[in-house]
Structure 1
Amino acid sequence: MTTQNDATRTDSKSSRNTVLVTGGTGKTGRRTVAGLRELGVETRAASRSGETPFDWADRTTWRAALDGVDAVHIVPLDTSPSPTPAFVEQAVASGVRRLVLLSARGVDVPGYFGTSFEGGSPQTEGEAAVRSSGVAWTILRPGWFLQNFSEGVFLDDVRAGELALPTGSGAAAFVDADDIAAVAVAALTEDGHDGQVYELSGPRALGVADVLDEIAKVTGVRAAYVPVEESAFRAGLVAQGLSAEEAALWTDAMKPIRTSQEAPVTDGVRRALGRPPRDIADFVRAASAAGAWR
């Protein structure tokens, strides 16, 4: 756990010189890459289309991406069985000395995500792999991202004026991806994070309608939240081309919001960074200035 001021953090940067970020062009990955480079850390942004070629499905790309790397931020592929254990083994064999894994809130709670996730998950497989790797590790467990409303799966519906979800009147302490990335950067570059599991949330619980109201206050873009039954939501996803299994997984993934299991505010951001997580009002202003809902 670290609560140092910024000057102390800068002075305490470890000797790890090169960091690999898998998923380096994604929501959290690209923010982590930017944060590392702002600190002057040699960083490889790895993805299928990125500057460092990396494909979870093609193990021949792993070795070159890991060559000469001291630390890795693992943004895993959410498929089962997970490729993360094999990647961790390759990383350690390549000389990597620190692993920071992006996992998910609730992976250690039975039934958290509904019946589709029973029998283990890619996240639990990844966590077990880094814990037993023999090198320094940190695990990040964020909840639902605020960025789903500004650059993710909910954006088109928000722009269209109606967001229909099977989340009922439930709430979540939605977390800003900028905070997730800031914690990842700290864990990759500072001492004091080894063996830590950071549960990451925002500073207050909000229902989906509350989030849409916050967006409307700042932008004037007003979208209605329409609660729908799980069965109707699944059927709609299948009609859009998803398989029945994919539709069930996506529907069950929203269970923690529907049941308000995501509502409790956690202390991970404060423990890792020594400050509170960013509030939704600040997120909306920044995303609006970047043109998210135009």
Structure 2
Amino acid sequence: MAIDQTKVQTRDDARPILVLGAHGKTGARVMALLQAAGHAVRAGSRNALPAFDWNDRATWGPALEGVSAVYIAYQPDLCVPGAVETVSDFYQAVAKAGVRKTVLLSGRGEPEAEDAEDALRATALDWTIVRASWFFQNFSENYFLEEIVAGEITLPEGLAPEPFVDADDIAEIAVAALLDPEGGRHGGQLYELTGPEALDFPEAIRRIGQAAHRGIGCRIVTMDDYAAALGQAGLPPDLAWLVIYLFKTVLDGRNTPVADGVQRALDRPPRSFAEYLARTAPTGIWGAAS
């Protein structure tokens, strides 16, 4: 079903803000925060009106027409082949449409994501980059959720601790940057976003089980066995490649140190994994919580 833009624009006196990846973890949160504050929003997705599709450049102009700012979350990830070239061309479309304010969601530790950042810096746009670690919500909104609910998660060996970050923090920073006046506090800023501590996956799973009051196993296998298991589970080859690439690249230790991006952007510490557990476990999403 197409999204009726008249139902997501709440202020007729404001040019809408285009949110790409409107159904994703951060995009949906950015949309919700903007709407709650009464700002006009345009969902950037293939089932919106006007539609937006990264693979159909004819949709870019109509989606950008009349907007005041744009939140860029590339799907499925900036590391996939051709992504940097596509987003670089999209920056030019943004400039051609007369849009100045641009916020890019980038991936911490991904060389290709840094190439996309460099391409944005080279434009005349008023840009902000939010370079994020892996999200807390990967444990509760997809990716690992099904296995956690089943009671055991399988992971490849050799994964370094990761300072997971709350998608709510990312969205709050993105909204602040989207609403920032041109030349304001967030213009030309790169915020490297992490949580306050790095956790390895077995420890994160242990804490989730503790919060949910149930046992959740964590089985570690070789990377080759893990890749084979993805194929046996029916994951499409391109998505299996992406998962293995991210595990080998992002989780090799380069991202383990915490960063101060949330503090710099919001003047407060990042939300902790304990805070995430305290509000998520009572929903019952992980099973036998109470």
Shift of 1:240: 2.5
Question: Which one of the candidate residues 123, 132, 149 is aligned to 1:142?
Answer: 132
* Secondary structure class of the residue paired with 1:53: coil
Matched, 1:251 2:244: yes
Q: CA deviation at 1:168?
A: 3.5
C-alpha change, 1:167 and 1:174, in structure 2 (3 Å) is farther
- Between the aligned partners of 1:91 and 1:243, the Cα distance in structure 2 is 32
Matched, 1:94 2:97: yes
Identity rate, percent: 41
Specify the alignment match of 1:201 in structure 2: 194
The within-5 A match list for 1:1-294 is: 17-50=15-48, 52-77=50-75, 78=77, 79-82=80-83, 83-108=86-111, 121=112, 123-168=113-158, 170-190=160-180, 191-242=184-235, 246-255=239-248, 258-294=251-287
1:252 alignment partner AA = Y
CA deviation string 1:220-244 (max 9, x = no partner): 2331111111111111112233466
Amino acid at match of 1:181: A
1:88, distance to aligned residue in structure 2 (A): 1.1
Q: Secondary structure at the match of 2:257?
A: coil
Structure 1: 5+ residue runs without aligned partners? 1-14, 109-120
Structure 1, 229-238 or 165-174: larger mean CA deviation: 165-174
Judged with a 3 Å threshold, the aligned counterparts in structure 2 of structure 1 residues 291 and 50 are, in CA distance, closer, same or farther, namely farther
Question: Does structure 2 conserve the Cα–Cα contact (< 8 Å) formed by 1:98 and 1:137?
Answer: yes
DSSP 3-state at the match of 2:38:
coil
Structure 2: runs of 5+ lacking an equivalent: 1-12
CA positional deviation for 1:201:
0.5
Relative distance call for 1:232 and 1:130 in structure 2 (3 A) is same
User: In the alignment, is the contact (CA less than 8 A) between 2:110 and 2:250 conserved in 1?
Assistant: no
CA distance in 1, matches of 2:206, 2:175: 32
TM-score by length of 1: 0.84
Give 1:81 shift.
1.1
CA-CA distance at 1:272 after TM superposition: 0.5
Relative contact order (alpha carbons < 8 A, sep ≥ 6): 1 or 2 greater?
A: 1
Counterpart for residue 10 of structure 1: none
Residue 115 (structure 1) aligns with: none
Amino acid at match of 2:109: G
What is the distance in 1 between the residues matched to 2:14 and 2:117?
22
Contact persistence 1:212–1:222 (CA under 8 A): no
Supply the distance in 1 between the matched residues of 2:106 and 2:157 (Cα, whole angstroms).
22
* d(CA) in 1 for partners of 2:59, 2:51: 7
Q: Deviations over 1:183-234 (max 9, x none)?
A: 1111111221111111110111111121112212222233111111111111
Q: Which residue number corresponds to residue 116 of structure 1?
A: none
- Equivalent residue pairs, number: 267
CA 1:136–1:279 in 2, change beyond 3 Å: closer, same or farther? same
CA distance in 1, matches of 2:126, 2:31: 20
